[in-house]
Structure 1
Amino acid sequence: MSSTPPLRSGSLRRRTILAVLALVALLLVVLAVVVDLALGARLRGQIEERLRDRAAAAASLVGTVDDADLAERLSYQGLSVRIDGAGGDSVVAGPSPEQLRDSPPGPGGGPGPGERSAPQPSASSGVQVVASEVSGDDQLVTLRSTLSDGSTLSLTASAVGVGETLGQVRLIMAVASVGVLVLAAGAVTVVVRRSLRPLDQVSRVARAIGSGERERRLRPTRPDTEIGRVATALDDMLDDVVGAEQAARDAEARLRAFLSDAAHELRTPVAGIRAAADTLVRADLDGPERDRLATHVAREATRASRLVDDLLTMARVDRGLELHRVDADLRTVVEAEVRRAPLVHPSLRIRAQVPDAAVPVHIDVDRIAQVLSNLVENAARATAGRGSVTVSVQAEGRTARVVVDDDGPGVPAADRERIFERLVRLDEGRAASGGVGLGLPIARGIARAHGGDVRCVPAASGARFEVAVPLS
């Protein structure tokens, strides 16, 4: 038998807050990484763009000034300049790459303090940049350009400022992220607390119901939401539980009443048997008086035995009857009961009305015969054994029906369901003789075990009982 795993009862509020804060922190980290990568790429792109501009300007000055003067002019930008001429001579100007690593230029990679921008050319010499290549690392960016006159221009700029700028941005992002997390923690705590407030109400109502306030319910204003669906399910469950509790109490009350009535019914024949037996033992009786007492003992013993048998049958019905079903013709079962009834009640006028065609059913023949016997016995008791009883068979759709009509006083409409309760007898039945109020409950229990039912239905006169069982 599988068991339900234990419910994980960690704090929902704490888990929700931590989950939201973790999500916010993750988003902040992703934002910081994106900003860092985008800003770093943008700053390095600006340096590379500046170097390309300087290379284009240098190409326009080639031929108008010598290489030394050109290198000197370009170095005013805080750049490391190297010009390799087509004839193999080289000119170097400005700080070396190692110096740029140690002493970066001013912010943004532009000219440092006291540095001058290179003068712009006044006319083009016709020399152009044929090809260029950018290389470098985290601290330096180098642009190598091949000019159309065969010379090679190498410009190196410091990228240390990029790292410093990114460091400042990272610090700002870190401080801002901590602030955002603190504000988010406060805001999420307030929001989650208000969002989970209905669960506190559920707990209060559950405790109130547990303390005895069975009528308390949640009654959500919006049953289509998550909490509304939970509250609605809890209300339905509470209705079922309270209904089951009330049904159990009613069943217990009925059981107590049943046991009390059964004991009372048994006490009457037992008391009669005891009194008659005591008289037979103590008194010296002969002749008719002794026979009368012996007959009384036998009659009361039979009555007690029948009551015990009915109680046992009722217990089997409650537990679940074990049926021995066979294919049978319902007409045959009815006709057999109609032939048996006069043997028990000679003055009872009983007749059968059956169709010409067979009525096939899959039933326990003895149990269905017991149902019909109980109904005929009930009719005989209601008519004092001298009335008229008609037993008819009908087939409607997929259901076979046996209708038992009598010309007795009938059953009031208010009592047509009550008579199927255990040990319930109407005044007319109690005045007649013999019944203890178990025949009809037993008949209904047997019929329902077959998938059918027994009902007391309205009739023009007398009482009418209808037995329904499925056709095979």
Structure 2
Amino acid sequence: MSDTRPLRAGSLRRRTIVAVVALVALLLIVLSVVVDVALGARLRGQIEERLRDRAAAAASLVGTVDDEDLAERLSDQGLSVRIDSAGGDSVVAGPSPEQLRDGPPGPGGPGPAERSVPLPSASTDVSVVASAVTGDADLVTLTSTLSDGSTLSLTASAAGIGETLGQVRWIMAIASVGVLVVAAGAVTLVVRRTLQPLDRVSEVARSIGAGERGRRLHPTRSDTEIGRVATALDDMLDDVTGAEQSAREAEARLRVFLSDAAHELRTPVAGIRAAADTLVRADLDGPEREMLAAHVAREAQRASRLVDDLLTMARVDQGLELTRSSVDLRTIVAAEIERAQLVHPSLQVSSVVPDAAVPVRIDAGRIAQVLSNLVENAARATNGRGTVVVEAAVTGGAATVAVSDDGPGVPAEERERIFDRLVRLDAARSPSGGVGLGLPIARGIARAHGGEVRNVPRDAGARFELTLPVSD
């Protein structure tokens, strides 16, 4: 079943460029999201690490520095500090969390800079027992429980993370646009160069349509996409060119055949017409009238035989309808020998057949017609007075019937041409000869049975062999 769906003929170049640029844009978006998430997590992690370091350092000072002094030292680093002692007292220092939301404080209040005030080193037995991190997008709070029972809460501003991520996002956006522009230009050039072979395919196809039938692509490789397309196109063009040439040759042969057939028919028709006019117009009696009547009958028979041969040739071309049956090929050979002896009394016809049966499944009437054509051809070649031998045998799983004569034979260069229509060799012509359709009809019938008729070389005379498949 043929596919009648229309081919989507959108621009392959444009679709490829759009697909590649879209893929690059998608990858850039994914990369930007990954960078944004990773960088944000990293910056927030750095704040948490700083708070943990400050908490551990502050724990080492508990007991050596009072809570107010410790809170003041921690707040100088831009942190909001709250110390809840084990006795229930609380100390608060530094900017409030609301102030930290606007940004980390500097020397004069909230601002972009933080002062790094180192804590004095000390060594006590107090340490951080547990820590918990809470907060939101603008604040990070570390609540640490110390081993002496007190609680230290440190809050740092995370507003700088948003500012940093905003700057990175702008940089990524501008860089992505630049990358997309460069990628679009590069992909356009690469795709244009890559698809140049398709342009050549189109050019060759148009030139062939314009009449240059000999042009081909001849790809250097046939295992690539372009190579497979070019190879398929070359094969198709070879087939089309061959079919076109065959069609022209067939048309030429048909015209020659029709011309020759008309010429062959014109001869007996002209003879019949002339004899009929003489019979009608002339007052003839006796032998002359009988001679003209016999001439009319003879020419009518010749024309009828030619018409029958033409009809048979047409049926061979269209495909013969065979009525097959299992027969012994020797019976057909025997019947043809008997017929030839009656029709050509001066012809010496003999047969050589095996003792065992030669079983074949054939249309007996058609194969008898083939054998009759071969014997008649031999009779004409010997002017009806030569020697004809019909041999039947089974060789290599095929039944063979050979018809040999002692006539002039067939030249080597004519052995295939004699199977063309309306071809007659001068040596085989006689006043009552055929019109050159017997051998083409014989070969057509044989091939319809899955066999063949061929002229084989022989030292003297001609030999034609009919081969047929042997039935099981």
TM-score category (smaller protein): over 0.9
Measured in 2, the distance between the counterparts of 1:105 and 1:414 equals: 112
Asked whether the 8 Å contact 1:393–1:403 carries over to 2, the reply is yes
2:289 maps to a residue whose letter is R
Give the superposition deviation at 1:397: 2.4
Which residue does the alignment assign to 1:213? 212
Structure 1: gaps (5+ residues):
none
Aligned pairs (5 A) from 1:37-186: 37-105=37-105, 116-186=115-185
CA distance in 2, matches of 1:278, 1:114: 134
Structure 1 pair 114/275, CA: closer, same or farther in 2 (3 Å)?
A: closer
- Secondary structure of residue in 2 paired with 1:132: strand
The C-alpha deviation readout for 1:57-116, integer Å capped at 9, x for no partner, is 01111111121211111111111111122222221111111111123347xxxx967754
Alignment partner, residue 423 of structure 1:
422
Deviates more, 1:385-394 or 1:167-176: 385-394
Between the aligned partners of 2:398 and 2:165, the Cα distance in structure 1 is 88
> What does residue 357 of structure 1 align with?
356
Say which is worse superposed, 44-53 or 214-223, in terms of deviation.
Answer: 214-223
Residue 73 of structure 1: SS of its match in structure 2? helix
* Residue type at the aligned position of 1:386: R
Letter in 1 for 2:263: H
Matches within 5 A, 1:218-257: 218-257=217-256
- Over residues 7-50 of structure 1, what are the superposed CA-to-partner deviations in whole Å (9 max), with x where a residue is unaligned? 11111111111111111111111111111111111111111111
Q: Give the Cα separation in 2 of the matches to 1:40 and 1:352.
A: 107
The residue type paired with residue 251 of structure 2 is E
Change in Cα spacing, 1:114 to 1:229, as seen in structure 2 (3 Å) is closer
- Cα shift at 1:6: 1.3
- 1:334 and 2:327 are equivalent in the alignment: no
What residue is the counterpart of 2:344 in the other structure? 345
* Whole-Å separation in 1 of the counterparts to 2:387 and 2:105: 126
Q: For 2:429, what is the secondary structure of its paired residue?
A: helix
Residue in structure 1 matched with residue 468 of structure 2 by the alignment: 469
What CA distance in whole angstroms lies between the structure 1 residues aligned with 2:42 and 2:276?
Answer: 119
Range with greater deviation from structure 2 (217-226 or 177-186): 217-226
SS at 2:464's partner residue? strand
Q: 1:268 and 2:267 equivalent?
A: yes
Tell me, yes or no, if the aligned pair for 1:60 and 1:121 is still in contact at 8 Å. Answer: no
In structure 2, C-alpha distance between the alignment counterparts of 1:119 and 1:10, rounded to whole Å: 69
TM superposition score normalised by structure 2: 0.96
TM-score, length of structure 1 as denominator length: 0.96
Deviation (angstroms), 1:293: 0.4
Moved more, 94-103 or 360-369: 94-103
The 8 Å contact of residues 382 and 432 in structure 1, kept in 2 or not, is answered as no
Q: Deviations over 1:423-465 (max 9, x none)?
A: 0111112246321010000010001001111111111211111
The 3-state SS of whatever aligns with 1:277 is helix
Which whole-Å CA distance do the structure 1 matches of 2:259 and 2:422 have between them?
10
**Contact 1:78-1:112 at 8 Å conserved across structures:** no
| Matches of 1:289 and 1:272, distance apart in 2 | 15
**SS across alignment from 2:101:** helix
What residue is the counterpart of 1:366 in the other structure?
365
> d(CA) in 2 for partners of 1:434 and 1:186?
82
Moved more, 221-230 or 280-289: 221-230
Distance 1:150 1:114 in 2: 34
Amino acid at match of 1:60: S
- 2:326 is equivalent to residue 320 of structure 1: no
Alignment match, 1:377: 376
Q: Distance in 2 between matches of 1:153 and 1:123?
A: 17
1:189 counterpart SS class: helix
Q: CA RMSD in A?
A: 1.5
Q: Which moved more, 1:197-206 or 1:380-389?
A: 197-206
Conserved? CA contact 1:368–1:447, under 8 Å: yes
Map 1:392-431; keep pairs closer than 5 Å.
392-431=391-430
**Cα distance per residue 1:373-417 (max 9 Å; x no partner):** 100111111111111111111212221111111111111111111
- The structure-2 alpha-carbon separation of the partners of 1:406 and 1:424, relative to structure 1 and needing over 3 Å to count, comes to same
Runs of 4+ in 1 over 6 A off after TM superposition: none
Distance 1:404 1:199 in 2: 59
Offset, 1:340: 1.5
Distance in 2, matches of 1:272 and 1:378, equals 24
Of 168-177 and 324-333, more deviation after overlay is shown by 324-333
Larger displacement relative to structure 2 (251-260 or 137-146): 137-146
- The answer to whether the Cα contact below 8 Å between 2:104 and 2:113 also exists between their aligned partners in 1 is no
* AA of the residue aligned to 2:436: G
